[in-house]
Structure 1
Amino acid sequence: MKPHQKLEVWRRSFRLVVDLYRLTSSFPSEEKFGIISQIRRAAVSVPVNISEGAARQTKKEFVQFLYIASGSLSELDTLILLSDELEFIKDKEQFTRVYAELESITKMLMGLINSVKQNI
């Protein structure tokens, strides 16, 4: 198992990507190059940056990539709220689940950042 795959925050963010791809597949087709594309890119960015950072040589570099992942989570927060406001998300339970997972991953990532920073 690769180092990033051992991180719970990576596993959960990876799962979130799959969930968001499924969620956005029901969005209006005219949003294919708009909000759908933005959500998917931001979602993929999270586990990708965690894994890239974990493969770097120094903890300082790792933290830098974790901050990039954090920025992508922030972007997702706005995009998911906007999608709900525009009524692209029809199932409110699905919105609640995805949004709660996003918040949980954000907290986990901040915890990892703080932990790694203490050991620099």
Structure 2
Amino acid sequence: MGDFRNLKAWQQAKELASLSAAAIKKLPGYERYALGDQWRRAAYSVVLNLAEGNSGRGPREFRRYLDIARSSLHEIEGILELVDAFGYLEKEELRLIRIKRSNCARLVYALLRKIDEAAKRT
């Protein structure tokens, strides 16, 4: 399937993980080890599942990893809702993270559609 680093979805996921890591450091101490840890795992999950899924085991296997990445992106959105509700971060920082998450999700959905369309043709 090629080098995972060339996937736009992976590139966006890596940027999302970086933005998330910086934001997690700004959470209150008691949340860094609860909500922050969950957020970190979800962000890493997106990056790592895109990399592992693109390892060339075939489209069915890749789709499975994409589904996991998609679920982690939804989890991040839920976490961002909590962070917003509790006022842990500035609105502008949250907005930028949400944009990055949405861009990544859009690219993951596009990969899922591509795999599904290819499966229908076979």
- Residue 41 of structure 2 aligns with which residue? 41
Q: Kindly provide the CA deviation profile for residues 51-92 of structure 1, in whole angstroms up to 9, marking residues without a partner as x.
A: 100004111000000000000000000001111110111x21
Segments of 5+ residues of structure 1 without an aligned counterpart are none
TM-score by length of 1: 0.93
- Residue 115 of structure 1 aligns with which residue? 114
Residue pair 1:60, 1:117 contacting (<8 A) in 2 also: no
Offset, 1:105: 1.1
Q: Distance in 1 between matches of 2:56 and 2:73?
A: 21
Q: Give the aligned residue type for 1:112.
A: L
Offset, 1:32: 2.4
Q: Distance in 1 between matches of 2:48 and 2:58?
A: 17
Offset, 1:5: 0.6
Q: Distance in 2 between matches of 1:57 and 1:25?
A: 36
Q: Kindly provide the CA deviation profile for residues 22-67 of structure 1, in whole angstroms up to 9, marking residues without a partner as x.
A: 0110100011221000000000000100110000411100000000
Residue pair 1:9, 1:105 contacting (<8 A) in 2 also: yes
Alignment of 1:1-120 (within 5 A): 3-89=3-89, 91-120=90-119
Q: Distance in 2 between matches of 1:32 and 1:104?
A: 25
Q: Give the aligned residue type for 2:84.
A: D
Q: Distance in 1 between matches of 2:22 and 2:33?
A: 16
Residue pair 1:20, 1:43 contacting (<8 A) in 2 also: yes
Residue pair 2:12, 2:103 contacting (<8 A) in 1 also: no
Q: Distance in 1 between matches of 2:7 and 2:56?
A: 15
- 3-state SS in 2 of match to 1:105: helix
RMSD (CA atoms): 1.1
Identity across the alignment (%): 24
